[in-house]
């Protein structure tokens, strides 16, 4: 299995670390991935037909050294030209999410799938904005499109829906899919105001300098959209997802809830209504017995209401370099096993 | 995909209901199962080469009428003779668990696998007592052995480990895998003594007249053993699983824990030690912030500690006719998709 990694920032390096850490388990499954190229306009782009040493590239990138210092590595062109230069089975798209137009992820995805390469992506943009087009492109080219890392990072929620929950009749999904907001809300439960809690999240590395993608609910809305369209078969656009963030909550709101034995959570929901599927994200007060109340800090948790099983919950990390890297490993194993043909 | 159902008691009927309920999703996946025979020494045994109408058989069984009242159905021999009479791809073994010698499940499993049939079972006996032998038999005959229903009934914990958690480096598992004990412990939190709580569990249909399989930890021990051997690659026997039940707990224990902000849970554990994997089941006091504390009544929940993701939790029903029936549907879809070849 030959791979091209597109993007070698935090997520790309997490994927490389995941591939290194899971080497034995990949080999056990009969899968020995060879990374033939890494392309990133900022960090650098290299290829080597015989395969690159990921540990060496990680050391180079972390030290800010040029990736071409890797023995035998040649400078590489970016997407899509790299596809002509390097034989590959799988393109792993690891560029940052852009929910305005999905670029450059959507172009990378189109190029890879059109060229008959399987696509793994951790980038919410292409899946949130162009799922149906990309799915058809994958099907038309006989390749797989996998994106476990787009929802709850490496916590295996999409593969759960694809395998064990298949046939269980999912009626609705609700849960916490943005760890940054949950971290802020938990800080506020300890008595801090919104501003201070946001600052703490930024200090802890959970929130970015411009936090609007998280606190205004865009990230959670994209994930709700992916669950609605890709798991539940809805056909919604991002603007169909009702969206409210947490920045309007203040210390008083938290205290009022606490006196009622409740906590605030930013809840993503996908529900079936008489007129079809709806998706939304909004802060909600939940009782202490609700599994969402038990999710502390940057954790994520989804509750699936199913016909066969009633409620099934899955929880785990919602972010993190290593966790997102695992999503790539899981998707690669699924491609290797030929699973997920229905996607 | 042609099926023989072995066992048509509660679990067998749940499987039939699951197959009916999931017919559309099975068809979507390109899988149209035909049940050609149902064999049960108590309820009756019938076959029809063109396939049986499951809804009609359910109605007959629930009414106590002979299954041969199904139009066109012939009386069938039991296992293994039915294998010679009816062409089938999959044998679905749904007889009750017997942890003493695994019978009749182990014999049914051996017969089916030796005859080149895929095996789905919800019966803990064969998997807890003869996993390695049966796995080799399946591999040698080029067929699959699947048993989602043996742990947390239809909550898809085994497929989660097989797909999304593959490569994540599971370090340990702990959790609640016996809903009857959890129901009793939750009743006791409300102030009842052990005897009354057990009686309530029996009245609610969670505990059997002889409750020892549940309250003495045998059921949980078998599930811990299955997780250890089948998911984590251990090679333990049932007598290697340290086992303590809940019958020694009294109202005073519950109150002492409550005063410390804790609750009692029957916790199954699989851990890696210097000398290999260990598995055990024992009542433990857990803090209110522990996800196990939030599991109420007959629910089940497992916490996987992984290298790539830290803690991942999955929770859902641990029993129930419809839930266990779903496990059969999920296993059938996996066989259809050719997944799980590593088993």
| pLDDT per position as a tens digit, A278-337 | 999 999 999 988 999 999 999 999 999 999 999 999 999 998 999 999 999 999 999 998
Q: What is the mean pLDDT of chain A?
A: 95
How far is the C-alpha of A205 from the C-alpha of B299, rounded, in Å? 35
Residues of A in contact with B291 (CB under 8 A): 294, 315
| Residues B204, B263 contacting (CB under 8 angstroms) | no
**pLDDT tens-digit profile of B249-276?**
999 999 999 999 999 999 999 999 999 9
DSSP 8-state assignment for residue B333: H
**Which positions in chain B touch A163 (Cβ < 8 Å)?**
156, 159-160, 162-164, 330, 333-334, 339
Closest residue to A167, CB basis, from B289, B316, B326: B326
Is some CB atom of chain B closer than 8 A to the CB atom of A51?
A: no
Q: What pLDDT, on a 0 to 100 scale, did the predictor assign at position B289?
A: 84
CA B7 to each of CA B93, B135, B226: distance values in angstroms, whole numbers, following the listed order: 7, 22, 22
Q: How, if at all, do strands A276-287 and A262-273 pair? A: antiparallel
Q: How many CA atoms lie within 13 A of A168 on its CB side?
A: 33
> In this structure, are strands B34-39 and B2-6 parallel, antiparallel, or unpaired?
parallel
DSSP class of A149:
G
- The pLDDT assigned to B341 comes to 45
Contact yes or no for A159 and B164 at CB 8 A? yes
Give the whole-angstrom CA distance, residue A211 versus residue A287: 27
Quick check: A267 pLDDT over 90? yes
Task: Chain A: give the shortest CA distance to residue B85, in Å.
Answer: 30
Model confidence at B47: pLDDT above 90: yes
Please state, in angstroms and rounded to a whole number, the distance separating the CA atoms of residues A174 and A127. 19
Q: Which of A139, A117, A124 is nearest to A3 (CA)?
A: A117
* Contact list, A29 vs chain B (CB under 8 Å): 166, 342
Alpha helices in A22-123 (DSSP H): 23-28, 54-62, 81-85, 105-114
B341 touches chain A (CB under 8 A): yes
The first and second tokens of residue A3, run together, are 């791979």
Query: Does residue B340 carry a pLDDT above 60?
Result: no
**A341:B337 CB<8 A:** yes
pLDDT of residue A288: 85
Q: State phi, psi for B188 to the nearest 5 degrees.
A: -65, -30
Please report, for residues A171, B147, B151, the alpha-carbon distance to residue B133 in angstroms, rounded to integers and kept in the order given.
Answer: 40, 15, 19
Cα Rg of chain A, angstroms = 20
Cα distance between residue A75 and residue A55, in whole Å: 18
The pLDDT of residue B220 is above 90: yes
> Within an 8 Å CB–CB cutoff, is residue A29 touching chain B?
yes
The answer, yes or no, to whether residue A341 has pLDDT greater than 80, is: no
Question: Does the model's pTM come out above 0.80?
Answer: yes
- 8 Å CB contact of A309 and B316: yes
Separation of first and last alpha carbons in chain A:
20
- Output the CA angle B78-B87-B136, nearest 5 degrees: 80
Percentage of residues in chain B with pLDDT exceeding 70?
99
Instruction: Give the model's confidence band at B223: pLDDT under 50 very low, under 70 low, under 90 confident, else very high.
Output: very high
In terms of phi and psi (left: phi > 0; alpha: psi -120 to 50; beta: otherwise), the region of A161 is alpha
Q: Chain B within 8 Å of A239 (Cβ-Cβ)?
A: no
Instruction: Identify whether the C-beta of residue A30 lies closer than 8 Å to the C-beta of residue A336.
Output: yes
pLDDT in tens, A173-183: 999 999 999 99
pLDDT in tens, B159-206: 999 999 999 999 999 999 999 999 999 999 999 999 999 999 999 889
User: Nearest CA to CA, how far is A208 from chain B (Å)?
Assistant: 22
- How high is the mean pLDDT of chain B? 95
Reported as a single tens digit per residue, the pLDDT across A46-66 is: 999 999 999 999 999 999 999
Provide the pLDDT for residue B209.
87
Pairing of strands B145-146, B118-121: parallel
What was the pLDDT predicted at A339? 59
Q: Of all helices (H) and strands (E), which one includes residue A259?
A: helix A251-259
Longest dimension (CA), chain B: 65
Give me the half-sphere count of Cα atoms (radius 13 Å) on the Cβ side of residue B31: 27
**Residue B342, pLDDT above cutoff 50:** no
Which tokens sit at A61? 């990138």
- pLDDT at residue A342 above 60? no
Other C-beta atoms lying within 10 Å of the C-beta of residue B87: 12
Asked whether the beta carbons of B108 and B147 are under 8 A apart, the reply is: no
pLDDT digits (tens, 9 = 90+) for B76-113: 999 999 999 999 999 999 999 999 999 999 999 999 99
Say what the ipTM of the complex is: 0.95
Confidence bin at B319 (pLDDT 50/70/90): confident
Out of B118, B223, B265, B269, pick the active-site residue: B223
Q: Give the mean pLDDT of B292-320.
A: 95
A148 touches chain B (CB under 8 A): yes
Domains of chain B: 2-153+321-337 (3.40.50.720), 165-317 (3.30.360.10)
Q: What is the mean pLDDT of residues A110-133?
A: 98
Check pLDDT > 50 for residue A343: no
Which residue(s) pair with B201 in the sheet? none
Cβ neighbourhood burial of A56 (10 Å; 0-12, 13-18, 19+): middle
- Confidence band (pLDDT; 50, 70, 90) for A87? very high
Q: What is the DSSP letter of B149?
A: G
Query: How much of chain A exceeds pLDDT 90, in percent?
Result: 94
Tokens (6 digits) for A92: 């792993």
């Amino acid at each position: 299995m030959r791979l091209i990694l597109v993007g070698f920032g935090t997520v790309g390096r997490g994927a490389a670390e995941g591939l290194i850490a899971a080497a034995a388990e990949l080999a056990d499954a009969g899968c020995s991935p060879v990374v033939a190229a890494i392309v990133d306009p900022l960090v650098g782009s290299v290829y080597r037909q015989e395969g690159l040493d990921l540990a060496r590239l990680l050391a180079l990138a972390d030290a800010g050294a040029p990736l071409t210092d890797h023995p035998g590595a040649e400078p590489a062109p970016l997407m899509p030209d790299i596809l002509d230069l390097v034989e590959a089975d799988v393109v792993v798209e690891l560029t940052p999410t852009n929910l305005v137009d999905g670029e450059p992820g959507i172009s990378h995805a189109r190029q890879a799938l059109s060229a008959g390469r399987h696509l793994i992506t951790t980038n919410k943009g292409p899946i949130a904005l162009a799922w149906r087009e990309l799915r058809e492109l994958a099907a038309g080219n006989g390749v797989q499109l996998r994106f476990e890392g787009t929802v709850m990072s490496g916590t295996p929620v999409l593969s759960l829906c694809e395998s064990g929950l298949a046939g269980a009749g999912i009626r609705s999904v609700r849960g916490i899919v943005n760890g940054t907001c949950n971290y802020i809300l938990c800080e506020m439960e300890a008595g801090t105001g919104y501003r201070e809690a946001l600052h703490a999240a930024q200090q802890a590395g959970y929130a970015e300098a411009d936090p609007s993608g998280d606190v205004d609910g865009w990230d959670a809305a994209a994930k709700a959209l992916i669950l609605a369209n890709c798991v539940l078969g809805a056909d919604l656009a991002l603007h169909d997802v009702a969206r409210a963030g947490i920045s309007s909550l203040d210390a008083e709101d938290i205290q009022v809830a606490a006196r009622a034995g409740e906590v605030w959570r930013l809840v993503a929901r996908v529900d079936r209504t008489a007129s079809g599927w709806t998706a939304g994200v909004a802060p909600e007060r939940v009782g202490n017995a609700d599994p969402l109340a038990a999710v502390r800090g940057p954790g994520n948790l989804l509750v699936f209401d199913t016909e066969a099983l009633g409620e099934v919950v899955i929880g785990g990390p919602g972010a993190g370099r290593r966790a997102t890297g695992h999503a790539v490993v899981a998707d690669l194993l699924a491609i290797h096993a030929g699973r997920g043909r229905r996607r």
